[in-house]
């Protein structure tokens, strides 16, 4: 049986007993968080690797040029 006493400071006694009885929801939650984090990292890497390094970006102050009239 899995020991989850390290969760005692952050959970209620009922929640701790529930996790100790059946840890599948906790394990599923942890794996889902890890999977989503990996997917976000992969998306960022693809966007970073495929960007055009020669593209000249417009300065920030010129992006709002049409918003402010003198």
- How many Å apart are CA 12 and CA 28, to the nearest integer? 20
Q: Where are the domains of the chain?
A: 23-50
Report how far apart the first and last C-alpha atoms of the chain are (Å, whole number): 72
Q: Please give the chain's pLDDT, 70 residues, in tens.
A: 568 888 889 999 999 999 999 989 999 999 999 999 999 999 999 999 998 878 776 666 666 666 665 5
Tokens of 29: 């939650």
Stated length of the chain: 70
Tokens of 4: 């989850």
Tokens of 67: 């918003």
What's the predicted TM-score (pTM) here?
Answer: 0.65
- Scan for tokens 């402010």, then name that residue: 68
Tokens of 52: 């055009």
């Amino acid at each position: 049986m899995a020991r989850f006493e390290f969760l005692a400071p952050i959970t209620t006694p009922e929640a701790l007993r529930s996790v100790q009885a059946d840890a599948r929801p906790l394990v599923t939650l942890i794996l889902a968080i890890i999977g989503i984090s990996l997917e976000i990292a992969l998306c960022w890497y693809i966007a970073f690797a495929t960007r055009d390094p020669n593209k000249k970006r417009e300065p920030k102050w010129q992006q709002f040029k049409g918003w402010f009239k003198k």
